[in-house]
């Protein structure tokens, strides 16, 4: 069954006819070729597919594209501003918050909501906030450091790209 959808992604409106069973992550990656969002486990465990839907971190492998009709979405591609990295992206670079990089987009999108809810989190709060994101390189220490660093850099101003 074909379903019409209209979604705002990274500030741009996309209108499509999608198969009812198309997952949101497939729509982003395969229809729109926004491949920054990754598919890891495909079972809502690993968090590599995390994006922001209407201000909330969501696992896009467990949402239908049809469910996102009318939503405002931010993906990793929407964070940098005219080539200037978002403070979270900068901090991941500075603090070596990535090894293979596969989990990074999901980590950063979850961190974006974490810092929105709690702009100055403790290390423990960051670790708890990342419970839905796996890093199979097990590089968690530097990921936590990167988010902590970004939070202090950003102060209370959390900028969406």
User: Where does this chain bind another protein (CB under 8 A)?
Assistant: 1, 3, 20-21, 23, 42-45, 47, 50, 56-59, 62-64, 66-67, 69-70, 110, 113-114, 129, 131-133
Beta bridge partners of 2: 19
Question: Closest approach of Cβ 131 to another protein, in Å?
Answer: 5
Question: Closest approach of Cβ 17 to another protein, in Å?
Answer: 12
Cα separation of 101 and 3, whole Å? 34
Question: Closest approach of Cβ 61 to another protein, in Å?
Answer: 8
Whose Cβ is closer to another protein: residue 93's or residue 128's?
128
**DSSP calls for 68-98:** GTT-EEE-GGGTSBTTBPPHHHHHHHHTT--
Cα separation of 73 and 56, whole Å? 9
């Amino acid at each position: 069954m074909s379903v019409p959808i209209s979604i705002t992604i990274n500030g741009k409106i996309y209108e499509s006819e999608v198969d009812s069973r198309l997952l949101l992550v497939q729509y982003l990656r395969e229809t729109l070729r926004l491949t920054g969002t990754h598919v890891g486990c495909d079972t809502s465990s690993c968090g590599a597919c995390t994006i922001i839907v209407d201000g909330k971190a969501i696992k896009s492998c467990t949402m239908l594209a049809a469910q996102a009709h009318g939503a405002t979405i931010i993906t990793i591609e929407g964070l940098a501003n005219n080539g200037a990295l978002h403070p979270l992206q900068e901090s991941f670079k500075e603090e070596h918050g990535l090894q293979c990089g596969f989990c990074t987009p999901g980590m950063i999108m979850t961190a974006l909501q974490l810092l929105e809810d709690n702009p100055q989190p403790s290390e423990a709060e960051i670790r708890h906030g990342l419970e839905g994101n796996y890093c199979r390189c097990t590089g968690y220490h530097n990921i936590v450091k990167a988010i902590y660093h970004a939070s202090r850099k950003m102060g209370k101003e959390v900028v969406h790209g």
